[in-house]
A and B are shown apart, each in its own frame.
Chain A
Amino acid sequence: MAWNQVPAAAKNIAFKYNGSVAKYLRYVSWQYLWGGREYGLQFHDTYFEPAPEVTEALRRLNLKEPWLFDARKQRLSTAHTLAVHGEKLPKASWTQWDQESWYLKPYLDEIEAEKKQRVESSGILPGYELKSEAH
């Protein structure tokens, strides 16, 4: 069953809720409640970029795995061109479940852990939030 199988591209991604129900809901949401598949996108391509956590995660992705960042940029560029022309990919080219890699998850997890530890220890804002406050 597709929903019970971990996507091949997301082998090392750990979710907080990973039971059968959670996996089923995740699959169904990804298939039917998200519109990125028909443009060839990954789910994390359409994550809300202006959020400080996501901005920082993307910055770290660019520093550590720049090839993933470049691939993301290419996918977004083709998807944008398609959307501008009012087109979608043919169904055979849509993103499949086993191609989905939740590539920002490790970075987001680390940022959440840092936030939690920061609250527990000093409460000092991280550099990236300080900079955005200054502007």
Chain B
Amino acid sequence: MLSRLSVRAQSSAAAAAPNTLASAFDLRSSRLTSGLSVSSVDLNQPIAHLAIAFRAGSRHQSATEAGFAHRLRNALGGDSRRAKGLTMLWQAGAIGANVHATADRENIILSMSFPRSQASLGASLLSELAQPSLEAWELEDSLDTIKSDVAHLSTYERVSQLLHEAAFRNGPLGQSPLCGPHNTGSVNYRKLQDYAASRLVASECAVVGVNVDHGELQSFFAERAFIQENKNRKEQASSSYHGHGESRREGCSTGVAVAVAGEGPSLGGDAKRLAAGAVAATIAQKVLSSSSVFYQPYSDSGLLGFYVESVADGTTAAKIKDSINKFKTLETSVDESAVQGAKAATKVAILTKADKGAELASSLASSVLSPSRDLHSPSDVAALVDSLSVNDVKEVARLAGARLSLGALGSIRHVPYLDEC
């Protein structure tokens, strides 16, 4: 299933500090002539993790390519031009690996974990799996999975999409990472092949290895063009936060699910603001104890907000209004003690995530593809969190509470409008 973006956000913040290499965390990065980025970090653990990420998320779809990122993700693991998908997956299983494909609004990530000694076989399998041929009969076979994904959407994901539509309107970030419920039929395979040919290319690709040798990984990808090159580089369409909007959908439910967010720091902006956003999110979670706060930075914009599900009765409207007002005035809750506590919690979260190699590989891969193009060790980011001042966090909290967007699903008559709060 799609990864929870709020979980990814912590490590996205982790990966956007200034470009200093910490010796405690041996992080290396290089860019090949084809545009492919190869990065690795060696934690001296026995299991290696490899992630190949492409800028192929739903924000890169054009208007006629709705749902293609979802279809591409579900088609991964199929045949490539040279090898059969079943053979590749079986060989991956023979070295103890499971292949995971994740797609969010910005990137599609293929990842695999295997013992260190199998690094070359793992890399060749993963790079071949990352170039699917997408023939018509394979897409037919994965149609059922599309329908199943759409049917099993959680309420949070539904409301999150409504919120993005309100926040980003018709911009690229407002596109749904999944197919719409009325678009789960078959699609022209040649169009999907065109989408893959334009997005699954070396210039839009980052390879990250955890517990692999950097030199070997770099020479592996340099000697042969495993990932095809594309001469025409399309500029990424910018998606700006609009806000002041609401997307409300009546649902057949006795409850209501609401997501409210304001503009947060972006991955392409200042790294300090990103870290401050993570700290502000931690503070917001303490303030809004009955909601769950999410923090989602994207390349050129971001969201910081909260999500709440409740039954719909006489008190719901007042409770939601109260939560919205607390979020609007989050800046006043940012004081010295709150910031100190939040800094500690944020550092623990960042450094804990760095311990898990598989998650580290995926999060580093998506941060390499972010516009800052700097790779930062988690210990760098922890140091950055330490250096934040109360004013940095106040600034982010103020901006988040300034211009809100709302998405609501269920008994929406119990949800107040934003200008009534």
CB distance from A111 to the nearest CB of B (A): 10
In the assembly, what is the distance between CA of A124 and CA of B87, in Å? 10
Task: Evaluate whether A114 and B84 lie within 8 angstroms (CB atoms) in the complex, with A121-B91, A122-B90 already known.
Answer: yes
Residues A114-135 near B (CB distance < 8 A) = 114, 117-118, 120-122, 124, 127
A121 touching B136, Cβ below 8 Å: no
CB distance from A84 to the nearest CB of B (A): 33
B84 touching A63, Cβ below 8 Å: no
A64 touching B136, Cβ below 8 Å: yes
B87 touching A117, Cβ below 8 Å: yes
A121 touching B90, Cβ below 8 Å: yes
Q: In the complex, what residues of A have CB within 8 A of residue B137's CB?
A: 56, 59-60, 63-64
Task: Evaluate whether A127 and B141 lie within 8 angstroms (CB atoms) in the complex, with A60-B136, A63-B136, A64-B136 already known.
Answer: yes
In the assembly, what is the distance between CA of A121 and CA of B125, in Å? 14
Task: Evaluate whether A121 and B189 lie within 8 angstroms (CB atoms) in the complex, with A63-B136, A64-B135, A64-B136 already known.
Answer: no
Q: What are 22 pairs between A and B in contact, CB < 8 Å? A: A56-B137, A60-B136, A63-B135, A63-B136, A63-B137, A63-B140, A64-B135, A64-B136, A113-B84, A114-B86, A117-B84, A117-B86, A118-B84, A118-B86, A118-B87, A120-B87, A121-B90, A121-B91, A122-B86, A122-B90, A124-B86, A127-B141
In the assembly, what is the distance between CA of A59 and CA of B140, in Å? 11
Q: What are the 10 closest A-B residue pairs judged by CB atoms, nearest first?
A: A63-B136, A121-B90, A122-B90, A121-B87, A117-B87, A117-B84, A60-B137, A64-B136, A63-B137, A114-B84
Q: In the complex, what residues of B have CB within 8 A of residue A117's CB?
A: 84, 86-87
Q: In the complex, what residues of A have CB within 8 A of residue B86's CB?
A: 114, 117-118, 121-122, 124
Residue of A nearest to B91 (CB): A121
Task: Evaluate whether A63 and B189 lie within 8 angstroms (CB atoms) in the complex, with A117-B86, A121-B91 already known.
Answer: yes
Interface string of B76-117 (1 = CB under 8 A from A): 000000001011001100000000000000000000000000
Q: In the complex, what residues of B have CB within 8 A of residue A64's CB?
A: 135-137, 189
CB distance from B269 to the nearest CB of A (A): 46
Interface string of B126-140 (1 = CB under 8 A from A): 000000000111001
Q: In the complex, what residues of A have CB within 8 A of residue B140's CB?
A: 63
CB distance from A101 to the nearest CB of B (A): 20
The listed residue with most A CB atoms (<10 A of its CB), out of B91, B135, B136, is B136
Q: In the complex, what residues of A have CB within 8 A of residue B90's CB?
A: 121-122
Q: In the complex, what residues of B have CB within 8 A of residue A118's CB?
A: 84, 86-87
CB distance from B328 to the nearest CB of A (A): 53
Q: In the complex, what residues of A have CB within 8 A of residue B84's CB?
A: 113-114, 117-118
CB distance from B50 to the nearest CB of A (A): 21
CB distance from B365 to the nearest CB of A (A): 28
In the assembly, what is the distance between CA of A64 and CA of B141, in Å? 14
Residues A67-125 near B (CB distance < 8 A) = 113-114, 117-118, 120-122, 124
Residues B295-326 near A (CB distance < 8 A) = none
Interface string of B182-200 (1 = CB under 8 A from A): 0000000100000000000
In the assembly, what is the distance between CA of A124 and CA of B141, in Å? 15
Q: In the complex, what residues of A have CB within 8 A of residue B91's CB?
A: 121
CB distance from A59 to the nearest CB of B (A): 7
Q: In the complex, what residues of B have CB within 8 A of residue A113's CB?
A: 84
Q: In the complex, what residues of B have CB within 8 A of residue A114's CB?
A: 84, 86
In the assembly, what is the distance between CA of A56 and CA of B135, in Å? 14
Q: In the complex, what residues of A have CB within 8 A of residue B136's CB?
A: 60, 63-64
CB distance from B332 to the nearest CB of A (A): 59
CB distance from B384 to the nearest CB of A (A): 47
CB distance from B189 to the nearest CB of A (A): 7
Q: A63-B140, A117-B86, A122-B86 are in contact. List 10 more A-B contacts (CB 8 A).
A: A56-B137, A60-B135, A60-B136, A64-B135, A64-B189, A114-B84, A118-B84, A121-B87, A124-B86, A127-B141
Q: In the complex, what residues of B have CB within 8 A of residue A56's CB?
A: 137
Residue of B nearest to A120 (CB): B87
CB distance from B75 to the nearest CB of A (A): 14
In the assembly, what is the distance between CA of A54 and CA of B91, in Å? 28
